[in-house]
Every structure is written in structure tokens, then in C-alpha cells.
Structure 1
């Protein structure tokens, strides 16, 4: 099976949503993001569109969440199949937080989910493995 070389994203992917929630006990985690993936120069450019911050949260804490999200997006894109050229501007449009549950780790998971959701939107779901009948 051969795969043709491809570039991610093949077209603008706007309003990609990702939510990470883990509430099975202490600690709990919550992160919700809306992000755009725009065709760009080769590599990954990351920017935050909404600079208003989160009401009641210090700017340093919000910046830490943005950084966690951006670094995990870069890591997930670096793990794409060989033959995929990454040429993307990632624009973080908005985030939602919960005072107690929103931590950097939750936004790292949300970054990975956002990339996976964008890949499904761009190329469809990954193929399911076939069972061999022997």
C-alpha cells in the first residue's frame, strides 16, 4: 500500500473544536478550544487571535495554557506520517476554562485532539484495520 505525498492542511479548516475533560476524581481536567488551521509556509506558525484573556485569570496563567496548547499541536504535527508536509498557521480562536480544572496538561491534550479532529475533517477518518480470517 502506497501513500501519496500530501500537505497539511489541504485547505483552510476553520472552527475546529476540541474538548478534553477528565473528571474521574481528583485531579480533574478541563480544556475547550476553537482553532483554525490555515495553509501557510512550510512548518508550523502558531498565534492567538483572542488577546482579551480570561476574565478573572492572570495573563501569565492564560499564557501558560496557550503555550501548552501550542507545543502539543507542534508535537502532534511532527508525528504525522512520513510523506506529509506540514505547512500550517494554527490560530487559536478561543478557549474555555474552569477555575479549578483547567491546567496546562488539559490544554496539552486539547492540542493533540485539535490536530486529530482537523485531520479527520481534512482527510476523513483513518481506515479501520481489517481482521484476517484464517
Structure 2
């Protein structure tokens, strides 16, 4: 019997909600997505689920936002998942756009956040620094 090769993700990670809000200056940022990370063939695949929903005011800009989301997911996976091969299909379930504050950079960052949330679900959040008590 051949040993089983471990890949990312080792199991489905569903309903990963990623939000990126930055409202302190102009331009502001807004992006919200829900994606699934599914075990798949070796490599990376992206698809939009049948029945996927979008809350938006700019239907014509959705393909650009999706492309930016994919770019952010790929970038973060390349940086964070280096110890095992990728075998993942990322499935977009929901996308929310703000009529003024959404832009490609917002969705690129939401893609990065989605990977971080998925990794936290697998491995737990990174350790937080311990609070020092005043002497």
C-alpha cells in the first residue's frame, strides 16, 4: 500500500467568510466573500458555485473583482502553504460589493484573508503575545 500524500487542504473547509474593510481614508475599501476550499486535483482551481449570490451595484465589474480575489488567494497560498503541495478548488459562494468603496485591491485583500481564515480553521489561530502585567 502506497503512503498517502498530504496536500492542502486535507479536508473540505466550507463557508469561509472573508471581509476586508478599511474605512479611514479615501479611497476606502470594502469586500466580503464566502468561499469553500475543497480537496481537488494537484494544483489550484477556482470556480463560481451554481446558485452563488452577489450583492452588488456594478454587475459589469464583478469579473474584475473575482480575478482580484483569485490573485489574492493565490498570493497568500504561495506565501503560507509551502510545506505541502496544493490540491485545491476554491469555490465562490457569495460576493458582496459596496457601490463606492469596493475595488480590485479590496478583493485581493479579501482573498488573502480567506486563506488566513481557512488556515486558522485547520491549525488554530497563531499564538497571541502574552499580556504583560504592570509591576
Per the normalisation by structure 1, the TM-score is 0.83
| Aligned alpha-carbon RMSD (Å) | 2.1
Q: TM-score, normalised by structure 2?
A: 0.83
When residues 6 and 126 of structure 1 are mapped into structure 2, their CA distance, relative to the original with a 3 A threshold, is: farther
| Number of the residue aligned with 1:104 | 104
1:94 aligns with 2:94: yes
Q: 1:43 to 1:95 in 2, by over 3 A?
A: same
Q: Which residue of 1 aligns with 2:117?
A: 117
Structure 1 alignment gaps of length 5 or more: none
| Structure 1: distance between partners of 2:25 and 2:80 | 33
Identify the residue that residue 28 of structure 1 maps to in structure 2.
28
Determine helix, strand or coil for the equivalent of 2:58.
coil
| Consecutive unaligned residues in structure 2, runs of 5 or more | 131-135
Secondary structure in structure 2 of the residue aligned to 1:64: helix
Count the aligned residue pairs.
125
Q: After the TM superposition, which segments of 4 or more aligned residues of structure 1 sit over 6 Å from their partners? A: none
Shift of 1:58: 3.2
